[in-house]
Every structure is written in structure tokens, then in C-alpha cells.
Amino acid sequence: MSIHSKGFGPLSRRGLLQFMAVGTGAAGLAACSSQGTANTNPSSAPSAGGQTIGSSEAKDFSFASWSISEEAAKPVITGQLEKFGADKGIQISPVSYPFNEYLNQLTLQVRGGQFSGAMQLDIAWLATMSALGKLRDLSSYAEGRGYTEAGLSVGQVDGVQNGLPWTMGAIGLVANAELLQKVGADSVPSSIEDFEALLRELKGLGNGTIPYAASTKVAQLKDVQVWMQTFGCSLVENGEVTIGDEASIEAVTWYKKLYDEGLIGADVDRFDARSLFSQGKAAIYDDAPVGRAGVVADSPDPELASKLLPASRPVLNSGDAPRALAWGHVVAVVEGEAADTASEFAQWLTSDEETVVAYFEALGLPPTTEEGLAADAVKSDTFIADFSERITATAQPSPFWVYPQYGQIDTAISEQVQAVLVGQSSPADAMAAAREAATALIS
């Protein structure tokens, strides 16, 4: 039997088998050679990183960052990757997913051995990523770089320096001072009662204005946990979940009231809130300093930057400390062939003074080194100064962050809060269900 191959004449059975064997061999060789394609460059001068540790051979690696998906941050970060890459003579491949998908996608890639290199992480995710057992201990890269104590501590899991701090702050209330002035207010009131009254007045402005663009979509409904704390719930105490207590039920009942009265908007996550605030359609929203760059850049109001008013969260009783959720990014490194170079990059990105100050100037993200914080550009930024004084000063990490299942705990609680908002569950039942789900996840 022979097979006629057009243009090549008759192909015998033996020929076809030989052809297949050669093809298989070539594919095998290609697969083997692809494992060794890392670009190694022996002339890796430590010019970009200053103090460097580890291998002298710089190697290509990947850098994962959700910020690369965001318009305001993309040019800044890709510029930094190019600068470090050019100095070292290597290629840094950017890897990016939107914020709400990032942790899941990266977890899958790291677990499956598909990713190695450096990665941006929210401080809330460090324990989750660390549980995979593939993060490098960066203690030696943290030494002598001038990181603040608070910065170093957010990068640690069980005492191991799994991440180098890149930026730190908090998530708190940001208001549009101009809209507040329209209802005769010059600041956000300090009591819940007065805050609610202000929201009603803001609603009276009409024109579709959402007084408080609080998160109501599951993705960012974790914000409601800070309100639970404001009402007196500790969330976790001695390893026991306390959601479901009177305080948490009261907080969710109050949140539902705001929802029903249209004082907070339906179907809003952080990105919707930024968009609404940027367009002047929302008077107050929750955000970290990272939101400022995008909000200002996308606004039709060229003066919006000067109208941003960071505000302390109202308290239940006079004298209570205003609640805020600590926020920040670290850079972690996944073990692999290029882990030394990736660690040098993480160190340079987060502690080189010129780099961190340039990052702050472009995006307004506070540095985590003493030198960076002392830079004129940082000290003279009134928004950051006000934000630090009114919000970051009393910010606390979530007690759930220490659990690798933090993401699932957050989602379980958020889904129950959403069920209350849309009328599918009562606050008491939903909080009891949230406690049960969260307890099952941490036990």
C-alpha cells in the first residue's frame, strides 16, 4: 500500500512510518531544548539593585502583577521592568490578570509549577500563597535596606520574610469635598448617626448621585467587615469566629438599611465605585491610596485631585478608635531557576530610593522604606499626609489574613451579606451561616 502525497510523489508505508519517527524525535528534541532557553547573562552588574545577593548570573524571569492590567499603573511598572531588564541584560516577562481573578489564577499557576519569578501580592494574600510552600525566604534581601518595621512585618508569615513590602497604607473613606460642601458639610461626620444624616442630604442632591458608593458586589463586600468592627464585632477572637454576634447583626442590618434607602448603590465593586466617584456621581467611597491616580486621571473634572478628602470612618460611640483595614502590596518570589535574579529585582523595586520615589510620584503609592518616606515628594503630598493621619494611623490587618483560606472565608461572609442586601436572608440567619462557613474553613 502506498499513499500519494501531492507534490512529493508516492509515499510508502515504510516512508510514512520513518517520517513519523523523525517527526516524533524532532518534537522530543525541541521539548528538551525548550527547557533550557533561559537567557543567562554573566555580565550582570548590580547597577540597578545596589546591594545584591545570590547568583552572579542574571536570568530571565516573569513578574506577575495585576497593576499591569490597570491603565494608570501599566506604563510605570513596565518602565521599571524595562529599566531593570536593560541594566541586567535580561528579559522580564510581565504576567497579569485583573485584581479580582489574580489570586486564583496565580495560585493555580504556582501550584502547577507553571510560574516562577517575582509577583506582586496584596498583603491579605501572603498566607494563602505561602501555604503552597513555594515562596522564597527573602530575609537576607530585606536586611540593610531601610524597610520600616511595619513594612517588614506585613511581609512575614510565621516569622518568615515571604515578601518584601512595596507599598503600605489602608482602605478608608474618601469623599468629594465639593459635593459635601453642596450640602453644607466640610468633613465626614464622626458618628454613625450624623454620617447617615449626611448621606440622606447627599441623596437629596438628585441627579442620580450615590451618596456612598460602598461595595455591594461579593468581590469587595469584605469592606462590610470593617463596619462590623465599627459596631463592635471582633470577627475572630482566640481562634473562634465571632461573626453572628449582636454587633455584626446590627452592622449588617444598618448596611441593609442604607441599601434599601438608596444611600449606597446596588451592584457596585471597587472599580465601579472609582468610576462613579471619578465622574462625580458618588460623593463618598472606600479606597486605598492606590485608587487616586485612576480616579483623577479618568475624571472630567480637572480639579478633582484637590477635592479628594480622606476621612476617618465614623464610630459608634464617641471615643471609639475609627476603624480602617490595613492595605498594602508586597513582592514575593517563587523558587525556581531565576529566583536569585527575581529576588534582586524585588529588592530593587521595593527599596531603591530613586525607584520607590518615582513610583510614588507617578501613582501616589506610599513607599515602605525610611528613606522613601522621608523624600520631599512624599512628605509634601497633602492627600497622603491626610490619609495617613486620618485613616492609616488606626488601620489594622484583618484577623482572617493569617489563614490560608482567607479568600474563601471572605467570599463566604460576603455571599451571606449579599443575601441580606437582596432580601434572601435575614441579618441574623445570614450572619449565623457566615460564622458556620468561616468556622468550617479555619478549623
Partner 1 sequence: MKLGDGAFALLLTLPGFALLCAVVVYPLVSALVSAFFEESLLYPGRDFVGLDNITAVLSGDFLRLLGQTMTFTVGTTLLPFIIGFGLALALNTKIKGAKALRGLMLIPWLVPGVVVSFLWMWIFNANYGVLNALLEGLGAIGAPQAWLAHPDTAMVAVIVAKTWQSFPWMMVMLLAGLQTVPPELYEAAEVDGAGVVRRFASITVPHLRGIIGLVILLEFIWNFQHFDIIYVLTGGGPAGSTHTFATAVYDTAFRGFDLGMAGALGLLWMLLLGILVVLYIHFSEKGEK
Judge contact between 224 and 251, C-beta under 8 A: yes
55 touching partner 1, by CB under 8 A:
no
User: In this structure, which amino acid lies at residue 394?
Assistant: T
295 touching partner 1, by CB under 8 A:
no
Write out the three cell numbers for 188.
465626614
Taking CB under 8 A as the binding criterion, the range among 271-279, 310-318, 331-339, 385-393 that sits at the site for partner 1 is: 271-279
* Region of residue 133 (phi > 0: left; psi between -120 and 50: alpha; otherwise: beta): left
CB of 345 to partner 1, least distance (A): 26
CB of 147 to partner 1, least distance (A): 28
Distances (CA, A) of 62 to 85, 110, 114, 337, 341: 11, 12, 11, 11, 10
Q: Which is nearer to partner 1, 1 or 31 (CB)?
A: 1
User: In this structure, which amino acid lies at residue 225?
Assistant: Q
What does the angle CA 415 – CA 412 – CA 233 come to, to the nearest 5 degrees? 95
Number of residues interacting with partner 1: please give it, by CB under 8 A: 40
d(CA 168, CA 331) in angstroms, rounded, equals 12
Q: Which is nearer to partner 1, 132 or 297 (CB)?
A: 132
Give, as ranges, the residues between 418 and 437 that touch partner 1 (CB under 8 A): 418-419, 421-422, 424-425
Could you tell me which residues are beta bridge partners of residue 327?
Answer: 169
210 touching partner 1, by CB under 8 A:
yes
Residue from 65, 216, 220, 248 that binds partner 1 (CB under 8 A)?
A: 216
218 touching partner 1, by CB under 8 A:
yes
411 touching partner 1, by CB under 8 A:
yes
Give, as ranges, the residues between 302 and 341 that touch partner 1 (CB under 8 A): none
The residues, ordered by sequence, that sit 6+ positions from 194 with a Cβ below 8 Å of its Cβ are 314
Residue from 263, 268, 363, 438 that binds partner 1 (CB under 8 A)?
A: 268
217 touching partner 1, by CB under 8 A:
yes
Residue 233 exposed, middle or buried by CB count within 10 Å (0-12, 13-18, 19+): buried
CB of 167 to partner 1, least distance (A): 26
CB of 5 to partner 1, least distance (A): 14
Q: Which is nearer to partner 1, 114 or 396 (CB)?
A: 114
- Taking alpha carbons only, the member of 171, 363, 181, 180 closest to residue 273 is 171
131 touching partner 1, by CB under 8 A:
yes
Quickly count: other Cβ atoms within 10 Å of residue 358's Cβ.
16
107 touching partner 1, by CB under 8 A:
yes
The residues, ordered by sequence, that sit 6+ positions from 380 with a Cβ below 8 Å of its Cβ are none
Q: Which residues bind partner 1 (CB under 8 A)?
A: 1, 13, 17, 20, 104, 107-108, 111, 128, 131-133, 208, 210, 216-219, 262, 265-268, 272, 275-276, 279, 281, 404-405, 407-408, 411, 415, 418-419, 421-422, 424-425
